[in-house]
Amino acid sequence: MKNTVKSVALFANMAKREAAHSARMISKLLHDRGIKVVLGEGSAIEKKLQTVDLAIAAGGDGTMLRTARILAPFSVPLLGVNSGGLGFLSGIDAVDFKKQLSMILQGQFVMEERWLLEAEVLRNNKRVFGPQIALNDCVIKSFDPRAFYLRVSLGERFLTDYFGDGLILSTPTGSTAYALAAGGPIVDPSMDVLLLSPICPHTLTQRPLVLPVKETLYIQVVQRRPREKVQALVSMDGQTNFNLQLGDHLRVKKYHKTFKLVLHPKRSYFEVLRRKFKWGER
């Protein structure tokens, strides 16, 4: 973070009462300190983000994910102020913002770089979706209550065919999200790996994989039975969705820019795991 913060972009889901209250409180405190506040909405947001020192997202993890995708191309650091539920990605809670404000404005919070996924869908060799980015995960999932086939390759190497309810492709940041519920490992966010977690695979042998991100991952929706119909979708962070058809190719790789996450200097990743998830408790 910069040693001094002079301008802030403020993001919040104003339709939610707690987030709206936090956003108004944050805006007032910043204005009282002489900090310029711009709202992170509207058609001119790209121009605004070129001039701010810091972005603040008031809300929960959903707001953090949405804001991260907006900020990533501009390399603007983001501080999450949790006024929602779990708030795993947030740097502080809303009730602590006032007493931590001086530390924030003086650049005493630490900044971690997190990498993002970039995905696009090709249909008949033409791009029909994307490129879209995700901080947590890219999920391919069936609409129907039935399993379907996905063919997966890493670069030029064929990996395997999956038969199940779908696949979760996640970053280390996303390893504590949907992938965790699907039996995937918890991965330190500093690692440069991609997690591939099958959703309810109909086999005893297919388990989550940890793969290098230096190569592109290719996934195809394939037909294994005559007249088989597949209704599936791809979802980026559970917020940007696209319907898939048989034969579609999904291409997933590491996004060329990192996302800068601002955190409290005394709050480690594993301390957050223990506090938020009760990790290690008996």
Domain boundaries, the chain: 7-109+264-277, 116-256
pLDDT at residue 1 greater than cutoff 60: no
Give the pLDDT band (50/70/90) at residue 108. Answer: confident
Q: Are the beta carbons of 249 and 151 closer than 8 angstroms?
A: no
pLDDT at residue 272 greater than cutoff 60: yes
pLDDT at residue 2 greater than cutoff 60: no
Give the pLDDT band (50/70/90) at residue 121. Answer: very high
Active site residues: 61
pLDDT for residue 85? 76
Which H or E run includes 25?
helix 17-32
The whole model's pTM is what?
Answer: 0.91
Instruction: Calculate the CA dihedral of residues 203, 209, 215, 219 and round it to 10 degrees.
Output: 30
Which residue has better confidence, 217 or 143? 217
Give the pLDDT band (50/70/90) at residue 188. Answer: very high
Mean per-residue pLDDT for 19-25? Answer: 93
Q: Are the beta carbons of 272 and 91 closer than 8 angstroms?
A: no
Homologous superfamily, domain 7-109+264-277: Probable inorganic polyphosphate/atp-NAD kinase; domain 1 (3.40.50.10330)
Buried b (16+ CB within 10 A) or exposed e, 233-250: ebbbbeebebebeeebbb
pLDDT for residue 15? 86
Which residues have CB under 8 Å from 47's CB, separation 6+? none
Q: Are the beta carbons of 177 and 170 closer than 8 angstroms?
A: yes
For the chain, the average pLDDT equals 91
pLDDT for residue 49? 87
Bridge-partner residues for 261, per DSSP? 78, 112
Inter-axis angle of helices 97-105 and 17-32, to 10 degrees? 50
CATH of the domain spanning 116-256: 2.60.200.30
Give the pLDDT band (50/70/90) at residue 231. Answer: confident
Q: Within 10 Å of residue 173's Cβ, how many Cβ atoms?
A: 25
